[in-house]
């Protein structure tokens, strides 16, 4: 199963793949799904403390989810909810234009994913659908010395906290291998 995601904002594009399994008993559907998403989600703000000189940028380069799904099927429609693990690569960079120093940290952050969706089976094997996922990668506090443009290390360590969240709505097309219940 492969899907591609795009966003109305030209700065955010994502491509991902998903794989999963599901089983149906009468109208109840249970299953699981794992996804990997490469993304360009990025946000830059002006520092509230030094607005004339400092900027801070957070970026999520990729994330994964592993979720359980429960759904209700009727006719050729499946409505489902999902919940489980989410993790992602979060990069934080700050730049001080006056002192010519930077601080950069790349960390894996873990959290949770919650979502819901609807699929419509146009054939026994092909189902387009719409999927919403809220991903909360939690918060992480890190400390480190600033680095001057000439490569020297500053003596005053800085502490930063990153909070990373994503709300993704995507059109998806699922191909089912096998047609059994």
Return the CATH number at 161: 2.40.160.70
For the chain, which residues score pLDDT lower than 70?
A: 1-13, 145-149, 151, 154-155, 179-181
Chain segment 46-71, per-residue pLDDT in tens: 877 777 878 888 889 899 999 999 99
**Is 22 in contact with 30 (CB distance < 8 Å)?**
yes
pLDDT at 147: 66
Q: What is the CA radius of gyration of the chain?
A: 21
**Is 65 in contact with 113 (CB distance < 8 Å)?**
yes
pLDDT at 2: 29
**Is 100 in contact with 149 (CB distance < 8 Å)?**
yes
Determine, yes or no, domain membership for 68: yes
**Interatomic CA distance for residues 23 and 20, integer angstroms:** 10
Domain with 57 in it: 2-175
Neighbouring C-beta atoms of residue 36, cutoff 10 Å: 13
pLDDT at 11: 46
**Interatomic CA distance for residues 124 and 121, integer angstroms:** 6
**Interatomic CA distance for residues 67 and 141, integer angstroms:** 26
Determine, yes or no, domain membership for 180: no
Determine, yes or no, domain membership for 169: yes
């Amino acid at each position: 199963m492969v899907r591609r995601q795009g966003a109305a904002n030209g700065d955010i594009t994502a491509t991902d793949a998903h794989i999963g399994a599901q089983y149906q008993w009468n109208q109840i559907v249970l299953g699981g799904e794992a996804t990997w998403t490469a993304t360009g989600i990025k946000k830059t703000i002006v520092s509230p403390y030094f607005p004339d000189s400092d900027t801070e940028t957070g970026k999520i380069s990729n994330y994964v989810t592993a979720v359980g799904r429960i759904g209700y099927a009727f006719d050729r429609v499946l409505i489902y909810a999902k919940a489980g693990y989410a993790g992602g690569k979060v990069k934080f960079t700050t730049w001080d234009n006056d002192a010519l120093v930077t601080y950069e940290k790349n960390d894996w952050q873990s959290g949770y994913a919650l979502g819901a969706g609807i699929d419509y089976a146009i054939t026994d094997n092909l189902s387009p659908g719409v999927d919403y996922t809220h991903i909360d990668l939690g918060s992480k506090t890190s400390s480190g010395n600033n680095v001057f443009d000439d490569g020297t290390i500053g003596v005053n360590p800085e502490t930063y906290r990153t909070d990373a969240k994503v709300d993704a709505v995507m059109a998806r097309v699922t191909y089912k291998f096998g047609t059994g219940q």
